[in-house]
A and B are shown apart, each in its own frame.
Chain A
Amino acid sequence: GAGVSQTPSNKVTEKGKYVELRCDPISGHTALYWYRQSLGQGPEFLIYFQGTGAADDSGLPNDRFFAVRPEGSVSTLKIQRTERGDSAVYLCASSLGRDEQFFGPGTRLTVL
């Protein structure tokens, strides 16, 4: 596809479970970003990849959150021991270096 894709579109899980959220960036985009958008708020930065490495993970709220991008393309955001406060829309974006970011449709995570 031409745009950023994210799977699943919706994820419902129980408190304490582990979840993985996937992002497929636009082909050739070297930079990849994860944001979290809580209800009624703007997106908040979580982590940024340049190629395979996490260039900035200062937005990750705690050590339950982890993200990888092993081949410099697809990225997975991993959340361990989920809590109800983790419920939000998780947005992924990609860009060609420092240019405009293109966003995916997001994954809506609900922790019961």
Chain B
Amino acid sequence: AQKITQTQPGMFVQEKEAVTLDCTYDTSDQSYGLFWYKQPSSGEMIFLIYQGSYDEQNATEGRYSLNFQKARKSANLVISASQLGDSAMYFCAMTQVPLYSTLTFGKGTMLLVSP
């Protein structure tokens, strides 16, 4: 079974600063994928970034980067230069690979960006 733990219920950051959202995971699978999704108040889940367990480089997508530490089983999301529009719920999730991509989600972290 796979498990995702997000220990930060809420985070506050000032505009233009960087913020790290924590995620740890537990799995017995050798191959897996790690995801971060953003859920604004509208409710839709928006894909941000993906990291495969065998990827040697940390994933980056624009202002988002994933700090992947396999030995620690952590996959923290780093958002650089926060913007007011980044205020939302953020979910860490994982899948089995190469099987189908059913996602197991954490409980989420609410990020609030202040001016």
Contact = CB atoms under 8 A, between A and B. Distances in A.
Interface residues of B, number: 23
Nearest to B102: A45
A42 B101 contact: no
B56 interface: no
Contacts of B4: 42
User: Chain A contact residues (Cβ within 8 angstroms of B): what range?
Assistant: 20 to 34
B91 interface: yes
Contacts, number: 57
15 contacts: A33-B102, A35-B103, A41-B108, A43-B45, A43-B103, A45-B102, A48-B100, A48-B102, A55-B100, A56-B102, A89-B43, A101-B47, A103-B45, A104-B44, A108-B43
Given A33-B103, A98-B101, A100-B47, 17 more contacts: A35-B103, A42-B106, A42-B107, A43-B45, A43-B91, A43-B105, A45-B102, A59-B102, A89-B43, A98-B97, A98-B98, A98-B100, A101-B101, A101-B103, A102-B47, A103-B44, A105-B44
Interface of B: 4, 37, 42-47, 50, 91, 93, 97-108
